[in-house]
């Protein structure tokens, strides 16, 4: 009965996506994108696309999304949005973070990226234009990947906070009690592998084209850099996502060390009551504002 009900829900979701797909006009940028994708397929091997293409996408998106947060510290009018204004970023902290990022990106993540080609071949993930899903399907698939990764992240992240393990691995990430965007990837190499593995689980379930792999890279990096930015920006479009945790939610985790373990959504923390201290903090904060 439960299996049938789940299948009905998923079937309804896909019907809804198909309905939206049919209702929306064709993307005017599609011909240019098709030409660029076809050119790439004609001039580079699958191994080059999967390896160097993935590396370029990862590095460009990471530092591009970090750029606004790096500039905010020089804009006085942005300081009113900083969650912990008494702990400003410094060049010393950023340089320390940048060196760790270079090590993690090129000594830990690059070897993992080098396995992307074999990963796509093993799971039969296509590269060609004709197999590419429509954007509305990729949005739904990225959401599914986020749900899966969030569950993995919550339980493994909570385990890394265990008193017998914390000081050996996860303590590195918590060197900064007031996070900033670039610090999202500042972590012990072992943590990079443990928590980063959750990224691939959703891909194994949902991925039906290599472009989804890159789309999910963009979504995951955007989310993790946003929650580590240290700035609670009004009118943030990510806040339109149901149950999205957001910057203030994760910033409290760095400030408090306990609770708020999820990466993207709030439901695991609500369900398992690991957001109790955060809720009390919010009530106290609102009380001060009322006074």
* Residues 171-211: tens digit of each pLDDT: 999 998 899 989 999 999 999 999 999 999 999 999 889 99
Give yes or no for a contact between 198 and 149, defined as CB atoms under 8 angstroms apart.
yes
Average pLDDT, the chain: 87
What distance in Å separates the CA atoms of residue 78 and residue 71, rounded to the nearest whole number?
A: 10
Quick one: pLDDT at residue 68? 87
Q: Quick check: 28 pLDDT over 90?
A: no
Q: Please tell me the predicted confidence (pLDDT) of residue 77.
A: 87
Q: Is the pLDDT of residue 3 over 90?
A: no
The predicted model gives 138-149 an average pLDDT of 94
User: What is the per-residue pLDDT for 2?
Assistant: 40
What is the distance between the alpha carbons of residues 153 and 155, in angstroms, rounded to a whole number? Answer: 6
Q: 154-158, 187-191, 231-235, 282-286: which range is least confident on average?
A: 282-286
What does the pLDDT average to over 95-100?
92
Query: Taking a C-beta distance cutoff of 8 angstroms, is the pair 221, 62 a contact?
Result: yes
Q: Is the dihedral of CA 18, 22, 28, 34 positive or negative?
A: positive
28-32, 241-245, 286-290: range with highest mean pLDDT: 241-245
pTM for this prediction: 0.86
Give kind and range of the element (H or E) at residue 205. helix 198-206
Backbone torsions φ then ψ of 114, nearest 5 degrees: -65, -20
pLDDT of residue 114: 92
Helix ranges restricted to H, 46-115: 46-48, 54-72, 91-103, 110-113
CA 72/CA 279 separation, integer angstroms: 28
Does residue 120 have a pLDDT over 80? Answer: yes
pLDDT digits (tens, 9 = 90+) for 70-81: 888 888 888 899
| Whether the Cβ atoms of residue 153 and residue 262 lie closer than 8 Å to each other | yes
CA 207, CA 210: separation in Å to the nearest integer? 7
What is the per-residue pLDDT for 76?
87
- 9 versus 88: the higher-pLDDT residue is 88
Question: 230-268: per-residue pLDDT in tens?
Answer: 999 888 899 999 999 999 999 999 999 999 999 999 999
Please check the confidence at residue 4 and state whether its pLDDT lies above 70.
no
């Amino acid at each position: 009965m439960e299996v049938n009900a789940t299948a009905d829900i998923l079937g309804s979701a896909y019907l809804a996506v198909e309905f939206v797909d049919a209702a929306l006009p064709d993307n005017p940028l599609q011909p240019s994108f098709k030409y660029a994708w076809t050119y790439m397929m004609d001039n580079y091997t699958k191994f080059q696309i999967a390896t160097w293409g993935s590396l370029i996408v990862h590095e460009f998106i990471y530092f591009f999304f970090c750029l606004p947060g790096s500039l905010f510290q020089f804009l006085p009018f942005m300081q009113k949005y900083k969650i912990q204004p008494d702990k400003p970023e410094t060049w010393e902290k950023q340089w320390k973070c940048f060196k760790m990022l270079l090590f993690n990106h090129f000594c830990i993540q690059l070897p993992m990226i080098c396995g992307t080609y074999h990963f796509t071949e093993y799971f039969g993930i296509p590269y060609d234009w004709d197999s590419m899903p429509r954007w509305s399907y990729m949005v739904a698939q990225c959401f599914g990947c986020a749900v899966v990764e969030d569950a993995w992240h919550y339980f493994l992240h909570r385990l890394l906070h265990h008193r017998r393990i914390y000081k050996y691995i996860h303590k590195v990430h918590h060197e900064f009690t007031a996070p900033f965007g670039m610090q999202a990837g500042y972590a012990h190499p072992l943590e990079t592998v443990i928590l980063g593995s959750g990224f691939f689980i959703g891909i194994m379930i949902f991925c039906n084209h290599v472009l989804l792999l890159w789309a999910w890279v963009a979504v995951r990096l955007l989310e993790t850099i946003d929650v580590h930015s240290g700035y609670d920006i009004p009118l943030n479009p990510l806040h339109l996502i149901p149950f999205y945790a957001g910057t203030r939610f994760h910033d409290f985790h760095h400030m408090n060390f306990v609770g708020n373990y999820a990466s993207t959504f709030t439901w695991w923390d609500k369900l398992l009551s690991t957001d109790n201290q955060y809720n009390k903090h919010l009530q106290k904060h609102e009380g001060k504002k009322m006074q």
